[in-house]
């Protein structure tokens, strides 16, 4: 399926050289992996698929030494490996880019790489810098060597992570949902890099992803995990996404979202932004005016970094505005603090689910965090009521977790469902939803989208920010395109063409 090179090669990878055999790992009651075997080859892109919570991350964490299996073995070239730490893994030629980057934000690119690769006591930054430049040309991974990490967009930070792994000499590279955090352009260039690493540097890449399109595009081999078991592992050649989805979820009906007529005609807008300005060194908002009516989904499209994050932040109250007004139901807010917005009926699903929840607290505690007082009689917490609420949310939103489970141990998709449950169970008048399906599996994605459409039918005004243009087009009644911190145009969702939106995203107004 090497459409990139236009030639289909039956098996391009070398002979299998890393074997994971009979890996089992349980976390208390949950069996994350049961008797999983998998082999990896160099010069091959091996896609790892599976629903949220299927155990993909866990398996790769074991290979990279971030956790230990309960039983099972890892062998490389016939020799049993004892991988107790990422350091052992790197010594065995295995590198990994985890979903949460491990970069020091206020150090430069070169310093960060030096931290990972320097083995001597004295530090020769100049030679590291030369090595970085050389490696980045060699692998086609352009990075600005002297930039501070925190100032780089996420796509470039990811490149630094990849470069770091490559420079410590790995011949296997594990990428855990690398495309989940990227916009469309960055995804394309990442996929190019991956193909190049495979073909030219002969690196075996393990790619975890929920996006069928990219798997079809670049995977040589596909393994599917379902509830901790490998249900299929074969060459990617000739497998359709439909078959893969069936393998992932079993024989289930996927919930189809039917688009219905907009309910919002002639109703007064409930959320109105008027010439909002946020001054920042880079980015910021520049005279943004926007309104959302009840029962309407307004989608925000745009190349990432054109003010979407700032827009979400002012509506969650974490970024204050310099001028302009925000009004909810006709009442202008004196200040956009989280509390005032929340009281006005604005609910929020942030783009970073890890930052939106307290990992060390239980699911049920996180679920009521933004309305704790509703679960207290006088001031005393009513745990029974919390538990009931949580259990009904777990049922209604099909969350695979127990009420008392610690939030941090949920899989990504289930974390997202808990946060959505938190948002919708307050019945907000306005819901600000940012990147709702990032990192979610196919089923969960369609489920989440159907939830958003349902909220719209219930009369909620939804502002949807997503880097996935298909998602915006599927859900939005109107699409507002952002460019350089302002809304450059608003098009009707039903007859929006990708071309028109694409032009607007590039800043072309006609």
Partner 1 sequence: MKVRFTLRSSMPWWRGPMLMGAAALVTFLISAIVIRWAGGSPFAAARYMFISPLQSKFGLTEAVLSATPLVFTGAAVAIAFRAGYWNIGAEGQLLAGTIGATLVGINAESLPRFVGVPLILLSGMLFGAFWALSPALLRTRLGIDEVVTTLLLNPVALLLITGLLNGPWRNTETGFPDSDVIADSTKLWIIWPDTRVHFGLAVGVVIIGLCWWFVGKMSGGLKLRAVGLAPGAARIAGLPVERTLLATALVSGAIAGLGGASEVAGVAHQLTTGISNSFGYTGVIVATLAALSFIGTLFVALLFGVITVGSFSASRALQIPSTIGELVQAILLLTIVSALVIKKYQVVWTRSKSQVRD
Cβ closest to ligand ATP, residue 44 vs residue 177: 177
Nearer residue to Mg ion within complex by CB, 57 or 356: 57
Which of the ranges 95-103, 285-293, 364-372, 471-479 carries the binding residues for partner 1, by CB under 8 A?
Answer: 364-372
381 in contact with partner 1 (CB under 8 A):
yes
Per the CB < 8 A criterion, the answer to whether 344 and 271 are in contact is no
Task: For residue 15, give both structure tokens.
Answer: 């002979």
x/- string (CB under 8 A) for partner 1, residues 56-75? Answer: -----------xx----x--
d(CA 365, CA 163): 39
Residue 375 contacts by C-beta under 8 Å, 6 or more apart in sequence?
368, 381, 382, 385, 386, 389
CA distances from 270 to 152, 162, 257, 478, 501 (A): 36, 45, 25, 15, 25
Site string for partner 1, 403-442 (x = CB under 8 A): ------x---------------------------------
Angle, helices 109-117 vs 125-138, to 10°: value is 100
Query: For Mg ion, which residue of 57, 136, 336, 425 counts as binding (CB under 5 A)?
Result: 57
425 binds ligand ATP (CB under 6 A): no
- Which one, 133 or 406, has the nearer CB to partner 1? 406
Residue 411 lies near ligand ATP (rule: CB under 6 A): yes
Alpha-carbon span 94 to 88, nearest angstrom: 9
Residues numbered 52-111 forming contacts with ligand ATP, rule: CB under 6 A = 52-58
| Shorter beta-carbon distance to ligand ATP: residue 375 or 407 | 407
Give 67 or 446: the residue with its C-beta nearer to partner 1.
67
Least Cα distance to 195 among 39, 9, 3, 18 occurs for 3
Three-class secondary structure of residue 135 per DSSP: helix
- Closest approach, Cβ 60 to Mg ion, in A, equals 8
Among partner 1, ligand ATP, Mg ion, none, what binds residue 370 when CB lies within 5 to 8 Å by partner kind?
A: partner 1
Tell me if 300 sits within 8 A of 436, measured CB to CB.
no
CB of 91 to Mg ion, least distance (A): 25
Q: E strands of 240-309, at which residues? A: 271-278, 285-292, 297-301
What gap in Å lies between CA 145 and CA 135, rounded to an integer? 11
What is the rounded CA–CA span in Å between residue 7 and residue 27? 44
Integer angstrom CA distances of residue 341 from 309, 320, 348, 422, 456:
17, 12, 10, 16, 20
Task: Using CB under 6 A, pick the residue from 410, 418, 473, 479 that binds ligand ATP.
Answer: 410
Binding mask 6-35 for ligand ATP (x = CB under 6 A): ---------------------x--x-x---
Question: Residue 356 binds which one of Mg ion, ligand ATP, partner 1, none, with CB within 5 to 8 A depending on kind?
Answer: partner 1
Distance between CA atoms of 507 and 510, rounded to whole angstroms? 10
CA distance 167 to 201: 12
Residue ranges that bind partner 1, judged by CB under 8 A:
27-28, 67-68, 73, 79-82, 84-85, 88, 91, 316-318, 338-339, 341-342, 348, 350, 355-361, 365, 368-370, 372-373, 375-376, 379-381, 409
Binding site for ligand ATP (CB under 6 A): 27, 30, 32, 50, 52-58, 409-413, 441
* Contact residues for Mg ion, defined by CB under 5 A: 57
């Amino acid at each position: 399926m090497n459409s990139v090179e236009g030639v289909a090669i039956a098996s391009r990878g070398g002979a299998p050289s890393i074997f994971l055999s009979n890996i089992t790992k349980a976390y208390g009651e949950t069996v994350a992996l049961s008797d999983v075997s998998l082999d990896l080859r160099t010069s091959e892109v091996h896609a790892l698929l599976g629903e949220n919570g299927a155990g993909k991350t866990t398996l790769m964490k074991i290979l990279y030494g971030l956790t230990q299996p309960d039983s099972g073995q890892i062998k490389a070239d016939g020799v049993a490996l004892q991988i107790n730490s990422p350091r052992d893994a790197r010594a065995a030629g295995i590198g990994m880019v985890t979903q949460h980057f491990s970069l020091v934000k206020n150090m430069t690119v070169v310093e960060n790489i030096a931290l990972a690769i320097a083995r001597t006591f004295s530090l020769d930054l100049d030679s590291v810098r030369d090595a970085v430049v050389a490696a980045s040309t060699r692998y086609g991974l352009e990075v600005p060597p002297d930039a501070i990490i925190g100032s780089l967009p996420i796509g470039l930070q990811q490149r630094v992570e990849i470069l770091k792994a490559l420079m410590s000499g790995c011949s296997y590279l594990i990428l855990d949902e690398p495309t989940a955090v990227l916009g469309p352009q960055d995804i394309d260039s990442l996929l190019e890099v991956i193909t190049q690493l495979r073909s030219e540097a002969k690196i075996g890449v393990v790619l975890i992803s929920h996006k069928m399109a990219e798997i079809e595009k670049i995977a040589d081999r596909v393994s599917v995990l379902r509830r901790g078991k490998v249900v299929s592992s074969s060459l990617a050649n000739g497998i359709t996404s439909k078959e893969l989805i069936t393998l992932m979820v079993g024989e289930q009906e996927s919930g189809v979202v039917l688009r219905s007529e907009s309910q919002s005609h002639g109703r007064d807008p409930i959320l109105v932004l008027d010439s909002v300005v946020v001054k920042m060194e880079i980015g910021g908002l520049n005279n943004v005016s926007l309104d959302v009516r009840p029962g309407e989904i307004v989608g925000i499209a745009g190349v990432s970094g054109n003010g979407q994050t700032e827009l979400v932040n002012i509506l969650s109250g974490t970024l204050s505005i310099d001028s302009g007004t925000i009004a909810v139901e006709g009442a202008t807010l004196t200040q956009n603090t989280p509390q005032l917005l929340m009281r006005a009926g604005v609910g929020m699903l942030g783009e970073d689910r890890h930052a939106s929840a307290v990992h060390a607290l239980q699911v049920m505690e996180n679920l009521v965090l933004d309305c704790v007082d509703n679960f207290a009689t006088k001031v005393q917490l009513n745990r029974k009521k919390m538990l009931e609420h949580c259990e009904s949310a777990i049922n209604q939103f099909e969350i695979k977790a127990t009420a008392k489970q610690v939030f941090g141990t949920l899989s990504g998709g289930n974390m997202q469902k808990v946060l959505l449950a938190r948002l919708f169970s307050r019945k907000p008048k306005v819901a600000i939803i940012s990147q709702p399906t990032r990192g979610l599996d196919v089923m969960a994605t369609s489920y989440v989208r159907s939830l958003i459409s349902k909220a719209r039918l219930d009369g909620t005004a939804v502002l949807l920010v997503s880097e996935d243009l298909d998602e915006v087009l599927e859900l939005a009644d109107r699409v507002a395109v952002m460019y350089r911190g302002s809304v450059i145009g608003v098009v009707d969702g039903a007859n929006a063409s990708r071309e028109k939106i694409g032009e607007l995203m590039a800043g072309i107004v006609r």
